């Protein structure tokens, strides 16, 4: 058989890329896994109990509604309107099998082969991969100043084939959060240029403070150009259940539903029931976990402020730290491999998130126990010293 060049041309997922080296981690340096962005805690008791109950129910494994359980869609609408204000309605919400599926189905509904989708750099690697797999073309929106792109930056990349602009905030891999005003400017830009603005808000719960992440749902015509993607994986600790959501125009969701029907038919009933319990019964637990992640971020920032081993923290937020390593003449993939083999630290090279090597590494501090983050000081410093001596 012949394999398609669409898939052959795409890299393998960076998650697990170094799994074959785990047996070679030094015995005196127990693995410090800062790679995959996964919660380091189990789901709330209420969530676990609901999923167990529905799994044991005679109807618990039957097909569910194509656009998701009415109870979960209703609970999400109530939360979005409480957090953001505005007028999100039930018909504006479609539940998906994770936020990755939400992105893939939306992009497939918006683009023809050869159409362009603008990704803010650094991008989430699965977004870039999916565009290539689906026949769309990634164009890269690189900020000219700092980590927030501007509409001037976007104007320089825009062409007559551009169909959408994708922003992830808080960012994966950087943790950087775009302001409400910045997102409003991009919404204006999308409207004026007749393109979609896709905002991946997987980590919205981890934005500090009580202010809404943006005010786009207050706009009278937001459905004409704004699409918001959501995940229940991170703050409810159910990544393996694969439950996400698209918030957008009913006409778009109608096309998204056609695609879902051909891929997964419907989202997992057990996962949706767990997500519903998390939204409606586990409020105190959710806040405690948000506070826990914030404490890890603070500890990580304190550690990295001293630039151990010359590793420089560029940004941090939500689950991630974006760090520049000091070895300009060494490929970042080699640095990440050597950090694992010499110091037992597992991370993902920044080259998974951008088209060029800019000496960056993604640290997922949310994975680790907070006290184990202190090990970074010695391990990064020792690695720096060993590299200098070997050079």
Indicate the SS3 state at residue 374. helix
Q: How confident is the model at residue 25 (pLDDT cuts 50, 70, 90)?
A: confident
Q: Is the pLDDT of residue 312 over 80?
A: yes
What CA–CA distance (Å, rounded) separates 281 from 107? 33
Q: How confident is the model at residue 279 (pLDDT cuts 50, 70, 90)?
A: very high
What CA–CA distance (Å, rounded) separates 170 from 318? 7
Domains observed in the chain: 5-42+285-386 (3.90.1150.10), 45-282 (3.40.640.10)
**pLDDT at res. 390:** 43
Report strand pairing: 345-346 vs 32-33. Answer: parallel
Cα 135 to the center of its chain, rounded Å: 22
Q: How confident is the model at residue 388 (pLDDT cuts 50, 70, 90)?
A: very low
Which secondary structure element, helix H or strand E, spans residue 231, and what is its range?
A: strand 226-231
**pLDDT at res. 248:** 98
Residues 91 and 253: beta-carbon distance below 8 Å? yes
User: Rounded to two decimals, what is the model's pTM?
Assistant: 0.94
Residues 92 and 136: beta-carbon distance below 8 Å? no
**pLDDT at res. 22:** 83
**pLDDT at res. 280:** 98
Which secondary structure element, helix H or strand E, spans residue 107, and what is its range?
A: helix 99-110
The arithmetic mean of pLDDT across residues 226-246, rounded, is 96
Nearest to 330 by CA among 318, 339, 319, 321: 339
Nearest to 162 by CA among 184, 192, 183: 192
Burial of 371 (0-12, 13-18, 19+ CB in 10 A): exposed
Among all chains, which residue has been given the structure tokens 């015509």? 221
CA end-to-end span of the chain: 47
Q: Is the peptide bond before 170 cis (omega within 30 degrees of 0)?
A: yes
**Secondary structure of the chain: what % helix, strand, coil (to 5)?**
50, 15, 35
Q: How confident is the model at residue 367 (pLDDT cuts 50, 70, 90)?
A: confident
Q: How confident is the model at residue 346 (pLDDT cuts 50, 70, 90)?
A: very high
Strand partners of residue 123:
none
Nearest to 107 by CA among 76, 77, 128, 90: 128
Cα 71 to the center of its chain, rounded Å: 25
Full strand arrangement of the beta sheet holding 116-120: 93-96, 244-247, 226-231, 196-200, 162-168, 116-120, 137-141
Q: Would you state the structure tokens that stand for residue 180, as one six-digit string?
A: 């409400």
- Give φ, ψ of 356 to 5 degrees: -130, 160
Q: How confident is the model at residue 391 (pLDDT cuts 50, 70, 90)?
A: very low
**pLDDT at res. 386:** 54
Lowest mean pLDDT among 2-6, 184-188, 278-282, 291-295: 2-6
Nearest to 160 by CA among 122, 116, 127: 116
Report strand pairing: 348-349 vs 360-363. Answer: antiparallel
Q: Is the pLDDT of residue 31 over 60?
A: yes
The arithmetic mean of pLDDT across residues 204-223, rounded, is 95
Q: How confident is the model at residue 389 (pLDDT cuts 50, 70, 90)?
A: very low
């Amino acid at each position: 058989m012949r394999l398609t060049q669409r898939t052959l041309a795409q890299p393998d997922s960076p998650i697990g890329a170094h799994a074959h080296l785990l047996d070679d981690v030094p015995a005196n340096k127990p693995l410090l896994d800062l790679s995959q962005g996964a919660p380091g805690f189990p789901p709330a008791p209420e969530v676990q109990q609901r999923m167990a109950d529905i799994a044991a129910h005679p109807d618990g494994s039957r097909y569910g509604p194509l656009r998701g359980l009415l109870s979960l869609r209703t609970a999400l609408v109530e939360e979005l309107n409480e957090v953001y204000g505005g007028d999100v309605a039930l018909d504006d919400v479609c539940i998906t099998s994770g936020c990755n599926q939400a992105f893939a189905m939306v992009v497939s509904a918006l683009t023809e082969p050869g159409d362009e989708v603008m990704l803010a750099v650094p991008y989430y690697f699965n977004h870039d991969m999916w565009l290539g797999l689906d026949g769309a073309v990634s164009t890269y929106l690189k900020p000219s100043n700092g980590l927030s792109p501007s509409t001037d930056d976007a104007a320089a990349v825009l062409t007559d084939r551009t169909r959408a602009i994708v922003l992830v905030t808080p960012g994966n891999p950087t943790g950087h959060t775009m302001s409400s005003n910045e997102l409003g400017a991009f919404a204006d830009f999308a409207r004026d240029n007749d393109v979609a603005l896709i905002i991946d808000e997987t980590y919205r719960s981890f934005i500090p403070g009580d202010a809404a992440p943006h005010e786009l749902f207050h706009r009278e015509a937001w459905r004409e150009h704004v699409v918001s993607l959501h995940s229940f994986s991170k703050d409810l600790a159910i990544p393996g259940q694969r439950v996400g959501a698209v918030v957008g125009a009913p006409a778009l969701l109608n096309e998204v539903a056609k695609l879902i029907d051909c891929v997964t038919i419907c989202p997992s009933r057990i996962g949706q029931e767990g997500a519903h319990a998390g939204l409606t019964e586990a409020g105190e637990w959710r806040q405690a976990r948000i506070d826990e992640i914030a404490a890890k971020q603070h500890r990580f920032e304190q550690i990295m402020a001293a630039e151990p081993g010359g590793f420089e923290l560029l940004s941090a937020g939500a689950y991630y730290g974006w760090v520049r390593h000091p070895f300009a003449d060494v490929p970042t993939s080699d640095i990440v491999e050597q950090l694992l083999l010499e110091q037992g630290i597992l991370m993902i090279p920044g080259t998974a998130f951008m088209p060029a090597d800019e000496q960056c590494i993604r640290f997922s501090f949310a994975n680790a126990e907070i006290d184990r983050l202190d090990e970074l000081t010695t391990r990064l410093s020792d690695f720096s010293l060993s590299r200098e001596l070997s050079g």
